[in-house]
Chain A
Amino acid sequence: MADVIKCATRDAYGNALKELGTRDDILVLDADLAKATKTIAFKKEFPDKFIDCGIAEGNMMGIAAGLATTGYTVFASSFAMFAAGRAFEQVRNSIAYPNLNVKIGATHAGISVGEDGASHQCCEDIALMRSIPNMVIINPADDVEAKQAVIAAAEHDGPVYMRFGRLAVSRVNAEDYKFEIGKGVTLRDGQDVTIVASGLMVAEALEAADKLAEEGIDARVINIHTIKPIDKEILVKAAKETGAIVTAEEHSVIGGLGGAVCEALCEEYPVPVIRLGVNDTFGKSGPALELLKIYGLDAENIVAKAKIALAAKNK
């Protein structure tokens, strides 16, 4: 495992924007966080197409909406806490309701923000954004996926919320990987239980599947990068074929991937679903990797949850 490439998805965001910058219709907005969101990569290459709105996220979303009405494809960037949290209502009313072509690049999502602590560790953004009609939500697992997601978002007509992390995470996808909005990816086949993961938990899910295999448990691993619209087909198939599901996400267990998977399955093919995520609590300051352990967001806990799911299925 020594050769695994590690890269933060926020870096992929900046790099992808740089590639998109040659398009006439692309503008990038930020709210005084360009160095952290990595939009600085775009700013350096295309200073005339970069607009710093200052520390005023609600206004930035409104400006993005107004620019979109004049024909631009606008990327509006901030930390997840402020993009989805503070500016929730501007995103809802000024962007999603009129279905405008604004892409929200939300970095520093989840507990892995680290030392900045609870005020900046947004574990509610997917729940917030998922409740808004017209919104597409993408939570990429690694830099390869993140970069393609940004390109796909630019092609998509309408609002997209992209969730990126601060922490460098292991690459799980090959260079020739092909990303498609709304299409889940089976990374490993299995018949006993399915681990449905998103974001940095995808790498943990693959590791968990290896550990489960050592104990003779055959786990399927699905990467759900698009939380909305969710790939119901791949989930129902997994429910039918494996009969038990574990969800794993760096987000609250309320309203995120776990919630979306439960909603997708309960009406069509209900099976036991065990959710692993941030357990309805605020985070704390600390090194990101340590925090992920403290909040149970790792392969060991996925293994434990998989066994609970298996037991529920066999009851």
Chain B
Amino acid sequence: MEEKKKLELKKLAVQVRKGVIEGTYNAKSGHPGGSLSIAEIITYLYFAEMKVDPEKPDCENRDRFVLSKGHTAPALYAALALKGFFPAELIKTLRKPDSILQGHPSMRYTPGVDMSTGSLGQGISAAVGMALGGKLKDKDFRVYTVLGDGEIEEGQVWEAAMFAGNRKLDNLVAIVDYNKLQIDGTIDEVNSPYPIKEKFEAFGWNVIEICGHCFCEIEEAFEKAKKCKGKPTCIVAETVKGKGVSFMENQCDWHGTAPKAEQYEQAMAELDAALAELEA
């Protein structure tokens, strides 16, 4: 990857993180931990990978994105705002009754949201349906979905995985945000989904393991996914929950807790410093 492109993406990822903190702080609730862990993935999708046009959010030939781990909507909203789907100041209205930014993504309220999600395990099925729709209509759009590593404990994920593998939906990419933490503890303590790679492979998927914070590896994985014919691709992206905000990193408690004023100031100061460093 070109250094210039990488630097640009890194800056955008910090902006996404700032949006996550801004949104959850103003909402006084929400899910910062898993939103911060997917910042690079969602940044890459919206700024380097997907064919989407903020002027035509419903364009039939667009690539689709389904945030199956819908509780990390703050990251999606931040990316959509940066991309120009709606004004950035709306981030502060997150989770308010008259806001277009509901607590979990709704395709009826928010331009750019391709599927309403929030109940874990359901988004991937919808993404599979979209990918199948693309095949049936001979369209060349691609479908992307991000799952939590805790989310794959849901049986529906494997119903969808079985179907997608059997149907050879090579226009579908599922990214597992492998941050190793869920609400009640580490994923292996709660109800281990391991081995993740072998499970998806057994369901007929092409599986690629990467660092989910490294843009070079993310790019390489998406390029490999495009070249893989006859199989859907699963990217197991190893990440750090709460990434980018020192006191939130690797802490279960930041799964669903919003920062208070002092924590907000510190988080924003850290992110601004990271941005300044990238701009220097």
Contact = CB atoms under 8 A, between A and B. Distances in A.
A58 B132 contact: no
B136 A94 contact: no
B130 A66 contact: yes
Contact of B163 (A56, A61, A71): A56
B163 A54 contact: yes
B171 to A, nearest CB: 12
Nearest to B107: A98
A63 B145 CA distance: 14
Nearest to B70: A93
A39 interface: no
Contact of A58 (B64, B125, B128): B125
Contact of B108 (A27, A67, A90, A99): A99
B137 A66 contact: no
Interface in B64-93: 64, 66
B162 A56 contact: yes
A27 B133 CA distance: 10
Given A65-B129, A90-B125, A98 B159 contact: no
A63 B118 contact: no
Given A58-B156, A61-B125, A93 B163 contact: no
Contact of B160 (A59, A89, A93, A98): A59
Interface in A54-98: 54, 56, 58-59, 61-72, 89-90, 93-94, 97-98
B114 A69 contact: yes
Contacts of B108: 97-99
Given A53-B163, A97-B106, A98-B107, A62 B60 contact: no
A254 interface: no
A288 interface: no
Interface residues of B, number: 35
Contacts of A99: 108
Interface string B108-152: 100000111111011111111111111011010000000000000
A65 B126 contact: yes
Interface in A31-61: 51, 53-54, 56, 58-59, 61
B129 A66 contact: yes
Nearest to B119: A93
Interface of A: 27, 51, 53-54, 56, 58-59, 61-72, 89-90, 93-94, 97-99
Given A67-B130, A89-B119, 12 more contacts: A27-B136, A56-B156, A59-B156, A63-B125, A63-B132, A65-B115, A66-B66, A66-B129, A66-B133, A70-B129, A94-B119, A97-B116
Shortest beta-carbon contacts, A-B, top 6 = A66-B129, A62-B125, A70-B133, A59-B159, A56-B159, A63-B129
